[in-house]
Amino acid sequence: MVRGLRTFWEYFRVPFPTMRISAKWALAGVAVVVSAAAWAAESPMPPGIAQKLVELGRVVDPPATAKLYAPLQPKEPYFGVRIERELRYGPSERDVLDIFMPQNVTTGRPVLIFVHGGAFIGGSKRQPNSPFYDNVMLWAVKNGFIGVNIDYRLAPEFRWPAGAEDVASAILWVAKEIGDRGGDPSRIYLMGHSAGAYHVANYVSHPEFYKLKGGGLKGAIMMSAIYDLTTGAVGDPERTYYGDDASRYASQSSLPGLLKTDIPLMAVSSELDLPVFVKQLELLKDATCKRPTGCARTVMLPQHSHMSEAYSINTDDTRLTDQILEFVKAGK
């Protein structure tokens, strides 16, 4: 870690613009508390977890959220899954990926590439001594995909547009290699969470990064990202990656390019997500609904938080993954 740079967790424990909660959102939080009990009877989320997420509130707290969801996830060795780990897709030591495949050889499966979060400065495709983000890959295989989990270069050493460039290299590698592993290179879906969702959005919205015609994607899924950096939503994590020059934020933003792309889009936020991500989801929805091609698929997950939306994948709570499967089905 560079001297003087905040650690990953410290980014989420200091007041920067993306963390400030207005009176409007505080009142909304009260409404969540009131409604949590009413949902518990019919929600697939265990009542204890629902209440604890409400108690945590609108924060990004991976350790506390992981404690809630790790007991619900399978542990290695995983049954019925073949795994290849640490395959190199680019020149950097961080340019590596894992592939999850069914134990029995298959062909023609769609491919789901997942890009993890970490405030641009941390995170990993495989969290030590935890099931995350293998959980995303296990869900993918269980539901007919070949799963690909990627790492990428991190800030502050590697800033914009390193993330989008690494995504482009990973897609190119997958398109060339996935057929030998049972995947269909013509049906690649790209999915990112938090900082990973920024990289997905930046890649899709900036064709200059493409290494394949049309971006090589059948669809893109973005979970909790900022799409317009010019809206005053830039905090310390964003500045670490995009820089301090606000005059560049318009060109670095993904929203203009997302309005032009032909790649099908799905965007997600959660009821207990940081307000900035909720507002950016609304912004993206409103903007895309004015396109001739129509609205992006947008999903607001009830009861969930910034981290639980990803950690809950491959549990009995299928409210997000059902939407992902519908998105993929619509793109066939």
What's the pLDDT score for residue 42?
65
Q: pLDDT for 176-206, tens place per residue?
A: 999 999 999 999 999 999 999 999 999 999 9
| pTM of the predicted structure, to 2 decimals | 0.90
CATH pick for 10-330 out of 3.30.420.40, 3.40.1390.30, 3.60.15.10, 3.40.50.1820: 3.40.50.1820
Residues 6 or more apart whose CB falls under 8 angstroms from that of 30 comprise none
CA distance 262 to 282: 20
Kindly state the average pLDDT of the residues 67-88.
Answer: 97
Q: pLDDT for 90-137, tens place per residue?
A: 999 999 999 999 999 889 999 999 999 999 999 999 977 899 999 999
* pLDDT over 80 at 14, yes or no: no
Contact between 320 and 309 under an 8 Å Cβ cutoff? The reply is yes
